Structures are given as structure tokens and as C-alpha cells.
Structure 1
């Protein structure tokens, strides 16, 4: 069997060894290669300082959402709420959003994490206005000011679109999220700004 770097398959590579030795009433043993593999997976899966920073963002928020539907035009403004909490043993922050968008009820879900293997922050987003998924990767500083690059498929052109997103904290309870993407002329334009105000 060729061992895989995918965790369930990698562990499956170790099972025949343990099973055979269990039949002989011996304690399972691992080769140095197997031990190194297990240590690598344990290191990759152990929450650390970056995950504790994500956990500090958990809570309930009130949102002010500004959306630009065309360059050089005033944005529309909506309100909403967001709930953030840690899941998967404090490894991933999940965000649930409820608001209005263009006069229609809007719900969305985002996942935010830090990959110990790549050393990068990552996020996903899907919502009630799409059946697709946006996947982003980026970096965050000590104050959790972040810059992400994400890709999604445009419903009209069917082609992938790359967007840039930033987050910053104006104070301990106020976060500002901004999203930029190519406008009709191909130049980067601001599409959205969301102000998160954390409830006490």
C-alpha cells in the first residue's frame, strides 16, 4: 500500500502493522518513518497562538453593510447581525450572518482558520445568494488586521474572479471588513464594507 499524506489514509497505513502485532499479543510498534509521520500530523493539528487569536473574535455582533453596485455611485446600506464561535476543538472560527441584501433576507456562513502547515490564514464563504463557495488565503498581524486574496465564480461570465479583502480593528469592539474586485473597466473597485460592532 502506498501511504498518503491525507490523515485517514495515512493512519490506515499504520493499522496493518498494529493489527498483525496485536494477534501475536505484542504491543504495536512503529518504524521511525511512521513515528515522524504521526508527529507531523499531531503538530499540524494542534491549536496554537493563532487559533487563540481567532477565539478572541468569538461573540455577537451588530453589522452595518455598505455595498457598491457600480463605480462612482453611492452605496446601499443594510444592517444585520453576526454570531462567531469556535468549533472543531478550538481550531476553526465559524461565523453566521443574518441581514438584508437588496431588500431580500440574506444569510451567510464563513469559516476562518489558521493552517499550521502553510503558516497562512484561510477562510471560506457561502450564502443564500449563491450555490458556490469562495475560498481565500492570507495573513494577519498581531492585532488581527488581515489581508486575504479570494476566488469565486462570477454568475454572469461563469469565470473565476479574484478579490482582495482586508480587516482591521478601529477599537477593541469594532472591526471593519472591506472587499475589492475588478470593476467593469477591469480596475480594482470597492465592492463592500462591513462594520462589525461587538456586543458587550
Structure 2
């Protein structure tokens, strides 16, 4: 059944792509009266076998997905927050249930705990894109209404990935950059560090040490 679904997905993508095989690009030309106009240029036909192979490779989980699957299970999360640079640290704790979804292609983590005296729930997803060769992480929780999205790559030497994104500051409505460093400390320990920007300067705003049960 799993192989059938992969094949079906590939066929759907290929069919969609084939319909766009003669997708128009444009090229500027100048008419006799000096006016620039755009004329369509037909794309070169794509070999169907090569296209099928590319989609199959795009859809198949690989070693990065196996690395994500190694984290399946329950994790205790010790969280530390800093509201301002060099500010007083605040502590919180949660539990994360991590699993792989959609045929081992994505990782999903569900967090539950207490933060600032209030019940806390959050959900994250992690993906490795075979085509772009980079990771994408998303995070939502019951402490807001926005979604955090960051992208980056894994460094085998440091056993960590650096992910960068933007978040909207609810105080002024402006987007500000943030980044995460996610480190594989050992087989049962992970560390996530988040860095925000305040008054034009980056500072460490959160650290989570995760221990697998």
C-alpha cells in the first residue's frame, strides 16, 4: 500500500507538470515604433522518465528522515527564557511527544506543560526537503495566533542545524528576524537555543534542554 501511494503521488505530480510542459516564458522585443513587448517562448520538452525519477527521489524518505525518526518517543523539556538581554532567567517545563507522520516524511512534536503559571500547549513540525536539501521547522502554540517558520541546514561537524526565520512583534506589528540552533548532544539529549533581536542587537531568548525518557 505504501509503495502504491508513493507511485500515485508521483503520477499526480508528473501529470500536473506535463500539462505545464509548454509553459510560456517571456522575452522582451522591440517593435518598429520602439515599444517593448513580451513574446512567449515555449519551454523545451522534459523527458518523462527523468521527470518521473526526479519526483520519486523527491518523495522518498532518506537518511535525514531516519535521523528525525530516531527522536520518536517522549522527551522531558527544561526551558529557560530571557525577556531582555542579560535579563533574569525564567524557568518552565514541558513534555514533548515526538513521532513521524505521512510515511516517515515529516516529524511532529506535541508539547504540554506550564508556562508563566498558565497551561501551555504547542506543536512543531520538521521537514527535510530532498530537492532544496534544507530543513524547515514550524511552531504554533496556545500563547499566540501566529506560526513561526524557519529554514536552514544541518552541519555534520557540529551535530547541529541553524534555522533562520522572521516573527511578528505583537507590540509594534513589525517583523523581526530570529534564529534557532538545534544540537544533537547525544543519543538521549537535545538542546535548542533561540536568538531574538531587540533594539537592533541579537540576544539569546530561550534554551530548551530535552532528555529522552
Q: Which residue of 2 aligns with 1:19?
A: none
Q: Which residue of 1 aligns with 2:55?
A: 41
Distance in 1, matches of 2:89 and 2:184, equals 22
Q: Which residue of 2 aligns with 1:11?
A: 15
* 2:127 partner SS: strand
* 1:73 partner SS: coil
Distance in 1, matches of 2:119 and 2:149, equals 23
Distance in 2, matches of 1:92 and 1:40, equals 19
Q: Which residue of 1 aligns with 2:149?
A: 135
Highest Rg: 1 or 2? 2
Q: Which residue of 2 aligns with 1:122?
A: 136
Q: Which residue of 2 aligns with 1:113?
A: 127
Any conservation in 2 of the 1:179–1:191 contact (CA below 8 Å)?
Answer: yes
- Aligned counterpart for 2:193 among listed residues 175, 178, 187: 178
Q: CA deviation at 1:34?
A: 2.8
Q: Which residue of 2 aligns with 1:157?
A: 172
Task: Number of aligned residue pairs: give it.
Answer: 178
Unaligned segments of structure 2, at least 5 residues: 1-9, 20-44
Any conservation in 2 of the 1:63–1:82 contact (CA below 8 Å)?
Answer: yes
TM-score by length of 1: 0.81
- Aligned counterpart for 1:168 among listed residues 183, 187, 192: 183
TM-score by length of 2: 0.77
Q: CA deviation at 1:11?
A: 2.3
1:48-75 deviation per Cα after TM superposition (whole angstroms, max 9, x unaligned): 1111111111110011111111222221
1:105-152 deviation per Cα after TM superposition (whole angstroms, max 9, x unaligned): 111111011100101111111111121111111111347411111222
Distance in 2, matches of 1:45 and 1:145, equals 24
Distance in 2, matches of 1:136 and 1:32, equals 32
Q: CA deviation at 1:168?
A: 1.5
Distance in 1, matches of 2:12 and 2:119, equals 40
Q: Which residue of 1 aligns with 2:39?
A: none
* 1:54 partner SS: helix
> After TM superposition, where is structure 1 displaced by more than 6 Å over at least 4 residues in a row?
none
1:54-65 alignment, distance < 5 Å: 54-65=68-79
How large is the RMSD of aligned CA atoms in angstroms?
A: 2.2
Unaligned segments of structure 1, at least 5 residues: 1-5, 16-30
Distance in 2, matches of 1:60 and 1:175, equals 12
